[in-house]
Chain A
Amino acid sequence: MLPLIGHVRAEATLAYRGGAAISAARFLADVAELGDRLGDSRHVLNACDDRYRFAVGLAACAATGRVSLLPPTHTRDLIRQLRASFPDAVCLTDQAACTIGLPHLHYPDTSARPVAKHFSVPKVPATQLLAYVFTSGSTGAPQPWRKRFGPLVTCVREESRRLGLEGTAAAIVATVPPQHMYGLESSVLMPLAAGHALCAERPFYPADIAAALDLVPRPRVLVSTPVHLRALLGSGVPLPEVDLMVSATAPLPQPLAVEIEERFATRLIDLYGSTETGQIATRRLSEGLEWQLWPGVRLGHRDGDTWADGGHIEQPTRLCDVIEVTGPESFRLQGRQADLVNIAGKRSSLAYLNHQLASIPGVHDGAFFHVEERRGSHTGVARVAACVVAPRLDAAALMELLRERIDPVFLPRPLVFVARLPRNSTGKLPQEALMALAAAHLKSSVA
């Protein structure tokens, strides 16, 4: 059995909202109140935008033996599939206009519940299933991954040590949503398990990030992504002192990492992980390119792929990156696999996107491909494009049908209508041929 939270005193700060501290005892009262109102369902899709409410929802499920469902996206198609797999699922939401197609449970006002006289932290079995997180399989069905409480706590306690936060009570400001694995671990579970304070807000624009940091006491930590950090740097917005910045979802270019550390007089730690494994390695780019693995985590090569297991990883997992193992606890990234698509931390594969495109009635053939990052981009985000053979569909209708099936970040830019795809004699589709075809079509449509 493990304690639900790592805070050992009733008055310890567990969260901030608008700069106001929320105590561990208040959190436990909110968790108890929400737990009483969760109804009969054993599966709760936690869609709360407010990170504190999300944490209360997650903890209330954990304390009552319920499982949180954390899909990466809420397209109609994916919700339909979730309903089929978890017929009793409800959606916990704090948005009046939530459009997720499940029975809604609106986040209730829990403030009337008095704080308990004696501070007693609920215990959760280490083997208890805390959440299902999902990746997109290449055939279209979302693949669930079981996340048990014990391994998650082991992982984020190590994260707190790795980040140099052990023995402190840090305030964690995050630009990432709590529903994705990185945000779940670094912005919710780490503060809960290691006695830090999470911040309810999710700042978006650079000026919002500065304001959110300014509202909380030091030590301050900013949990973010290359997209937001690049925007922060480009904006010229001054920040208050930040003791640590954390980046994940895509590797940072080393010069950018060094520039960020210098400009903001901070330490910047890059995290490596995946939905399947959780975070498994860190590096500080100003010190070197090599990643240091979590204790007990091992990497091995098999059939041309790299597999991770051991430590907090629940089952051997194939990694989507090309990896050079440099020591028993270290590795270097050599690039991503050609099929992998990672746009601002949302992951998919060309195979999955192609499958979705081909499944649309009226589409005869179609293929997605990578496009290079646009020069002068402030966010550094590269998109995907697609060529499609669909003589009876128009672009707007096809985009609308795609929108139902895939996350908007993967919508093709551009979507090019062609007479046929440049498949070679074996039916394969070289990426270069696709790019050339799209470029030729775009030129002729402008001319």
Chain B
Amino acid sequence: MSDNVSPLRQAPAPTGGAELTAEVAALIVAALNLDIAAAEIDADGPLYGEGLGLDSIDILEIALVVSKRYGVQLRADSQENKSIFASLRHLCGYIAAHRTK
């Protein structure tokens, strides 16, 4: 599963605003039951692998929460996906650009 969610670091993407960033961070902490505060997530650190230590099951869990909350269905075979989980900022930028609710 790991190949689908590459932890590539890229140039900072638009975040969709501090409000969305805080909201998505809170969703991730709640969905994965992480024992850190949402505000402790580094907006530019990788979510996958060694950063926050998430694995592909977590990524699937987050994808489901994001699809329910924002109406965004993530795809692994789109070019963009390579960078979606590069950081919280990238994920929020993707949500802001594709949200339907």
Question: How far, in whole Å, are A445 and B37 apart by their CA atoms in the complex?
Answer: 12
The interface on chain B, measured as residues whose beta carbon lies within 8 A of the other chain's beta carbons, has a size of 26
Q: A205-B74, A237-B73 are in contact. Are A409 and B57 (CB under 8 A)?
A: yes
B77 interface contact, C-beta 8 A: yes
Given known A-B contacts A177-B1, A379-B60, A403-B50, A207 and B55 have beta carbons under 8 A apart: no
Known contacts A202-B4, A204-B56, A227-B57, A235 near B64 by CB under 8 Å: yes
Q: Are the C-beta atoms of A204 and B4 separated by less than 8 Å?
A: yes
Knowing A237-B73, A379-B61, the reply to whether A399 touches B3 (Cβ < 8 A) is no
Judged by a CB distance under 8 angstroms, whether A129 is at the interface is no
Interface status of A381 (Cβ within 8 A of chain B): yes
Q: Is A156 on the interface with B (CB-CB < 8 A)?
A: no
Q: Which residue of B lies closest to A205 (CB)?
A: B74
Contacts of B33 in A (CB 8 A): 374, 413
Give the chain B neighbours of A442 by CB distance below 8 A.
Answer: 35
A413 to B63, CA, bound (A): 20
Contacting B at CB under 8 A, from A173-216, are 177, 201-208, 211
User: How many angstroms between the C-alpha atoms of A208 and B3 in the bound complex?
Assistant: 14
Residue of A205, A381, A445 contacting most chain B CB atoms (<10 Å): A205
Within 8 A of B (CB), among A204-260: 204-208, 211, 227-228, 231, 234-237
Partner of B60, one of A95, A205, A374: A205
Q: With an 8 A cutoff between CB atoms, is B65 at the interface?
A: yes
Interface residues of B in 1-38 (CB under 8 A from A): 1, 3-5, 31, 33-35
B73 touching A207, Cβ below 8 Å: yes
Return the contact of B61 from the options A237, A378, A400, A403 (Cβ within 8 A): A378
Q: Is the CB of B3 within 8 A of A411?
A: no
Instruction: Tell me, in angstroms, the Cα distance from A237 to B75 when the chains sit together.
Output: 12
Contact present for A95 and B73 (CB under 8 Å) = no
CB 8 Å contact bits of A396-426 with B (1 = contact, 0 = none): 0001100100001101011000000000000
Query: Is A12 part of the binding interface, using a Cβ–Cβ cutoff of 8 Å?
Result: no
Task: Tell me whether B73 and A235 are in contact (CB under 8 A).
Answer: yes
Contact across chains for A204 and B50 when beta carbons are under 8 A apart: no
Q: Encode B65-101 as 1/0 by CB contact (under 8 A) with A.
A: 1011000011111000000000000000000000000
Residues of chain B lying within 8 A (CB to CB) of residue A409? 55, 57
CB contact under 8 A between A414 and B35, given known A344-B57, A408-B55: yes
- Check A235–B67 contact: CB distance below 8 A: yes
| A377 on the B face (CB < 8 A) | yes
B77 touches A208 (CB 8 A): yes
Give Cα distance in the complex from A231 to B61, angstroms.
8
> With a CB–CB cut-off of 8 A, which chain B residues contact A201?
77
Question: How many A residues, CB 8 Å from partner?
Answer: 36
- The complex places the Cα of A208 from the Cα of B53 at a distance, in Å, of 24
The reply to whether the CB of A49 lies closer than 8 angstroms to some CB of chain B is: yes
B99 to chain A, nearest CB (A): 15
CA A400 – CA B50 in complex, angstroms? 8
Closest chain A CB from B71 CB (angstroms): 10
B-contact bits for A16-34, CB 8 A (1 contact / 0 none): 0000000000000000000
A377, B30: Cα distance in complex, Å: 10
Q: Please, how many angstroms separate the alpha-carbon atoms of A202 and B34 in the complex?
A: 28
From B57, B63, B65, B68, contact of A205 by CB (8 A): B63
Check if A381 sits within 8 Å of B1, measured CB to CB.
Answer: no
Which of A95, A344, A442 has the most chain B CB within a 10 Å cutoff? Answer: A344
- Measured between beta carbons, the chain B residues less than 8 angstroms from A400 are 50
Q: Across the interface, which residues of A come within 8 angstroms of B65, CB to CB?
A: 378
With a cutoff of 8 Å between Cβ atoms, the chain A residues found around residue B63 in the complex are: 205-206, 231
Q: Per-position contact with B for A95-111: 1 when CB-CB < 8 Å, else 0?
A: 10000000000000000
Tell me if B61 and A377 are in contact (CB < 8 A): yes
Using Cβ atoms and an 8 Å threshold, which residues of chain B touch A408?
A: 49, 53, 55
Nearest residue, chain B, Cβ from A236: B67
- A232 CB → nearest B CB, Å: 10
CB neighbours of A379 from chain B (8 A): 57, 60-61, 64
Complex A-B, nearest 7 residue pairs according to Cβ-Cβ distance, in ascending order: A378-B64, A207-B73, A204-B4, A204-B76, A408-B55, A414-B35, A49-B3
A-B residue pairs in contact (CB < 8 Å), sample of 22? A49-B3, A202-B4, A203-B76, A204-B4, A206-B64, A206-B67, A207-B73, A211-B75, A231-B63, A234-B64, A234-B68, A237-B73, A344-B57, A374-B33, A378-B64, A379-B57, A381-B57, A399-B53, A408-B49, A409-B55, A409-B57, A411-B53
State the A residues within 8 Å of B (CB): 49, 95, 177, 201-208, 211, 227-228, 231, 234-237, 343-344, 374, 377-379, 381, 399-400, 403, 408-409, 411, 413-414, 442, 445
Not counting A205-B60, A208-B77, a sample of 11 additional A-B residue pairs whose C-beta atoms are within 8 angstroms of each other reads: A177-B1, A206-B64, A228-B60, A234-B68, A235-B73, A236-B67, A343-B57, A344-B57, A378-B61, A409-B55, A411-B53
